[in-house]
Structure 1
Amino acid sequence: MENIATIEIRDNAFARQFETTLPEGLITIEYSFQERKIFLTKINTPEEFKNEIFIDNLIKNILDNAIEQRLRVVPIYPRIVQFFKKNPSYKELLPPGIRL
């Protein structure tokens, strides 16, 4: 995988979301777990936040963590599906039978 910037990400298990805080506000990626799979269901950003490169890096950090934990990833949210299409090296994380 390519070298990416490390982002401080908190796993808020109670709210089932990964969180990071920027001057613009809180950015979250909601998830759910099921049988060694993590379903990435939604990205929440402040209304004025438009930094797509940061969102890509946030997704990469979460996926790298999934690799370390040997989890499969099921992208549900369209922006995350788009990320997988633009970054085919991460498609190995998809469970068998999932095509984008």
Structure 2
Amino acid sequence: MEIKDNTFARQFETIVDEGLVTVEYSFQEKKIFLTKINVPDDFDDEIFISNLLKNIMAIAIERKFKVVPILPKIVVFFKKNPVYKELLPPGIRL
């Protein structure tokens, strides 16, 4: 899966057959706040979204960022994948 970090639009982007999938973020003090997932109208592949989020977690690990999940769907991802809980900043409990 190829993910582009579009820093101008503040979103991670990847292409699927149906169109563009994006995960919007904001950045503050070595923390990345994941705020929104945008998918094409006919797209509902939850496994793909989970894999996309895993790839974004790998980027966060590589860049030594903490991750703050704002969107409920991303909170659920953290609950289903406790291996990534180390990326949460101190004081964030799910």
**TM-score, shorter chain, exceeding 0.5:** yes
Structure 1's unaligned 5+ residue stretches are 1-6
Of 23, 38, 41, the residue aligned with 2:35 is 41
CA RMSD of superposed structures (Å): 0.5
Matched, 1:30 2:19: no
Query: For each residue in 1:8-64, what CA deviation from the matched residue of structure 2 results, as whole angstroms up to 9, or x when unmatched?
Result: 001111110000011111000000100000000000001110100000000000001
The corresponding residue for 1:97 is 91
Question: What is the number of residues matched between the two proteins?
Answer: 94
Structure 2's unaligned 5+ residue stretches are none
Identity %: 71
Q: TM-score, normalised by structure 2?
A: 0.98
Of 6, 10, 34, the residue aligned with 2:4 is 10
Q: TM-score, normalised by structure 1?
A: 0.92
Structure 1 residue ranges, 4+ long, deviating more than 3 angstroms after superposition: none
